[in-house]
Structure 1
Amino acid sequence: MTKAPPTLALWQRLNTKPGGQWLFARGVCRRAPYFSTIRPRIEALETGRCVVTSRKRRSVENHIGTFHAIAMCNMAELAGGLAAEATVPTTHRWIPQGMEVDYVAKAETDLTATCVVDLPTTWDDRQTLSTPVDITDASGQIVFRARIRMYVSKKPARKPAA
């Protein structure tokens, strides 16, 4: 049995505790401060899957009163990044390589971003991991789609201490 990635292990410890989801989300935002602009709530995190929600409020609205496109990009990157972090084995590392987005409909409510990763059968020294993200509104309608490519590579061997 392989060891869970540290982020996933932390989520598993905090998730069921009172205030644990809030604390986990704050920790993620502390590590990557730009995510704090959407005040995310992580609803689910497991190997190959992440669900993030964000409330519609003035600070994420655009000039027409809908959820701002870049705020939705932040949600997608957070969901995709956490899904990758929970999926990629500890022997490897990942970094976003590119993102394509489609704005499908006006986002006029609170939103939910769901990422479900197509798990590879093996982890090569170098490969691209697809992390598709759908963002839905309160009625379940898809308002935004993203396809994030994560470059995954084997971690280099550590050099022995001198």
Structure 2
Amino acid sequence: MSNKSSVLTAWRIVKKLPFGHWLFTKIVCFKAPYFGSMKPYILNLKAGHCSARVKNRRRVHNHIGTIHAIAQCNLAELCAGVMVDSTVPVKTHRWIPKGMTVQYLAKVDTDVTAIAEIDLPHQWLDKEDLVVPVKLYNTRNELVFTADITMYITAKK
């Protein structure tokens, strides 16, 4: 049995299909339905990296017509979670989000792209707090939001 994540294996297979990125995103949103509320689109996934986009549309707006703060948090958590799930060794460890610290740097009035990345290789420990930095950029490539999402990593028993 491989130690590779089923998420990463699914990504590598599905991304080659017509509409593969869309299909993979739908699979992720089926597994974690709340993420579907913002209609994300996963752009890229590999061990240590995930990027995704949310379009600037009314369903994610706040009262001033920009992308809502919680939609930004939701996108950041999606990227961090999918990246961690595809990176942590599936046979020996598990993870759960533990906390999130965010900074809203500018109003988000365009589509937004999130990037979650950690340095690899990584020595996976038991009872580890892994801080995953996530950055959101508007279509002008301006940094509009940052998050540090703490993932609690534990060894499987």
Aligned residues: 155
Partner of 1:5: 5
- Please tell me the root mean square deviation across aligned C-alpha atoms, in Å: 1.1
Partner of 2:130: 129
Once residues 115 and 122 of structure 2 are traced to their aligned partners in structure 1, the CA distance between those partners, rounded to angstroms, is: 22
Of stretches 22-31 and 103-112 in structure 1, the one that deviates more from structure 2 is 22-31
TM-score using structure 1 length: 0.92
Partner of 2:28: 28
Gaps of 5+ in 1: 157-162
* Matching residue's letter, 2:78: L
Structure 2 residue 55 is matched with structure 1 residue 55: yes
Partner of 1:80: 80
Once residues 97 and 120 of structure 1 are traced to their aligned partners in structure 2, the CA distance between those partners, rounded to angstroms, is: 22
* Alpha-carbon shift at residue 120 of structure 1 (Å): 5.8
Partner of 1:159: none
Instruction: Report % sequence identity.
Output: 45
TM-score using structure 2 length: 0.95
Partner of 2:141: 140
* Matching residue's letter, 2:132: T
Moved over 6 A (4+): none
Indicate the SS of the match to 1:86: helix
* Alpha-carbon shift at residue 55 of structure 1 (Å): 0.4
* Alpha-carbon shift at residue 123 of structure 1 (Å): 1.2
* Alpha-carbon shift at residue 129 of structure 1 (Å): 1.2
